[in-house]
Structure 1
C-alpha cells in the first residue's frame, strides 16, 4: 500500500507546521508498513491551471502520477481567509488531465484531511477539502483533524506536536491504514 502526504502549504522554512505534520505522518505510516511520499507544492513546479495548453506541463504529469498511484492520501492545509490556499486548489485542478483515464480522477482513493488555523475555524478548510475530494470520486475519511494552531505544539517547543494532536493524528492514520476503500464491503458490493 502507498500513501501520499499532500502538503498544501507553501512553507519554505526548514521548520514549519506542514513539515512537522508531514514528518509525523511519515513516521506513523512506517509503523503500519506503508510506504509514503510527501508532495510539497513549493517543490512541484505546478503552473496555473490552463485548459488551453496544448501540452501538459511536466510538473502536472508527475503530480497526477503520484496522486493516482497512492492508495491513501493525507491532505494538509492551513486555513487562509476561510478556505484552503489557492495554490493547493490550483494543483488539485490539474487532476483534470486524468478525466479520460480509467478510472478517472481519484476514484476510490481514501483521503484523510488535516487543516490548521490560528482560531477555531479550521473545519472550514476540512469542509472545502471534503467537497473537492468527493467531486474527484474519492472517499474522505469520516474522521479528520481540524487543528487550533496555538494548541498544536507543546509549550516551550514550537515544533513538537502536543500529545492531544498526536492522539488525533495517530487515530487518523490508524483509520486510513486499516479501513481502506478496497476493504469496504459496501463499496465492493456497489462496484
Structure 2
C-alpha cells in the first residue's frame, strides 16, 4: 500500500502547521510499515494551469505520476477565505492531464480530508476538497478532521493535543482498513 499525503498549504517554513500535521500523520503510517509519499505543494513549483500548452511541464508530469500511483491519499489544507488555497486547486486542476489514462483522474482512489483554520470554519475547506475529490472520481472517506488551530497544540506548543492525535489515528486506521478492502471492480472501470 502506498499512501500519498498531499500537503496543499502554500507556506514553506519550518515548524508550520502544515508540516507538523503532515509529519504526524506520516508517522502513523510508517509505524505500520506503510510506504508514505508526501507531496508538498509549497516546494512543487507548479505553473498555472495551461490547457493550450503543447507540452506538459515536467513538474506537472511528476505530480500526475505521484497522484495516480498512490493507493490512498490524505489531503491537508488550511482554510483560505472559505475554501482551499488557489494554488492547491491549480494543482488538482492539472490532473486533467490524466483524462486519457486507463484510470483517469483519481478513479478508485480513497481520499481522506484534513483542514485547519484559526476559527471553527475548517469544515468549509473540507466541503470544498470533498467536491473537488468527487469531481476527480475519488472515493472520499466519510470521516474528515476539521481542525481549530487554537486547540491543535498542547499549552507549551510542542505537541499535538491528545484530542487531535486520536482523530488523526482514527483517520489513518480507517484509511488502512478501507484501502486493504477496496478495489474498483473491473466492470466499473471507466471506458475511454
CA contact (8 A) 1:107 1:138 kept: yes
CA distance in 2 between counterparts of 1:149 and 1:139 reads: 27
CA distance in 1 between counterparts of 2:30 and 2:44 reads: 24
SS in structure 2 at match of 1:111: strand
Moved over 6 A (4+): none
CA contact (8 A) 1:6 1:40 kept: yes
Deviation of 1:122 after TM superposition, in Å, equals 0.4
Q: Which runs of 5+ in 1 are unaligned?
A: none
CA contact (8 A) 2:12 2:43 kept: no
Deviation of 1:190 after TM superposition, in Å, equals 6.5
- The two structures have a TM-score, normalised by structure 2, of 0.94
1:178: which partner in 2?
A: 177
Per-residue CA deviations over 1:16-40 (Å, capped at 9, x if unaligned) read 0000011111110012221001111
Report 1:1-191 matches (<5 A): 1-157=1-157, 159-180=158-179, 183-184=181-182, 188=185, 191=188
Aligned residues: 188
RMSD: 1.4
Per-residue CA deviations over 1:39-61 (Å, capped at 9, x if unaligned) read 11121121000101100011000
SS in structure 1 at match of 2:130: helix
CA contact (8 A) 1:122 1:148 kept: yes
Q: Which runs of 5+ in 2 are unaligned?
A: none
CA distance in 1 between counterparts of 2:75 and 2:165 reads: 16
Deviation of 1:84 after TM superposition, in Å, equals 0.3
Per-residue CA deviations over 1:110-145 (Å, capped at 9, x if unaligned) read 111000011110000000100100111101100010
CA distance in 2 between counterparts of 1:16 and 1:26 reads: 15
